[in-house]
Amino acid sequence: MKIGELAKRSGLSAHTIRYYERIGLLPHADRDQSGQRDYDASILNWIEFLDRLKATAMPIREMLRYAALRERGVGTEAERGALLEQHRERVRAHVAELQACLLVLDTKIAGYAGKEQRMKDYDAPIPEHRKPAGTRQAGAR
């Protein structure tokens, strides 16, 4: 498939595809008789995997390391697995952090469910013309 078709099917721009190829995230494409890139459909699976890594905030240097190991093929499975396991732990920690944040938001939202009573009891406006304690009017000696 040509780069335009790959861009359409993957959701990446042609520029991004060329960039990924240049830095080593995508393998170099075969070329047709006229010198245009000709991608195998299997590249879509790899791009989808890269999108998942990107969505989970894997640093580009680790994505490049994984891609280089993948390119080397058999014999790198253990190292690739270890890289993904480390990333999985970071993702789990981030998910736990987001869940804690969600709990805070849920608690805050639940507090607004009884907003009228809370406003009455705690957030009553302070009178505007009230003077601080211990202050005198000018000329009141």
Q: Kindly report, residue by residue over 24-77, the tens digit of the pLDDT.
A: 999 989 999 998 999 999 999 999 999 999 999 999 999 999 999 999 999 999
Q: pTM for the complete prediction? A: 0.73
Q: Any idea which fold 1-55 has? A: Multidrug-efflux Transporter Regulator; Chain: A; Domain 2 (1.10.1660)
First to last CA, the chain: 94
> What DSSP line would sit under 117-129, residue for residue?
HHHHHT-PPPPTT
Residues whose CB is less than 8 angstroms from the CB of residue 26 and which lie 6 or more positions away in sequence, other chains included? 17, 20, 43, 46, 47, 67
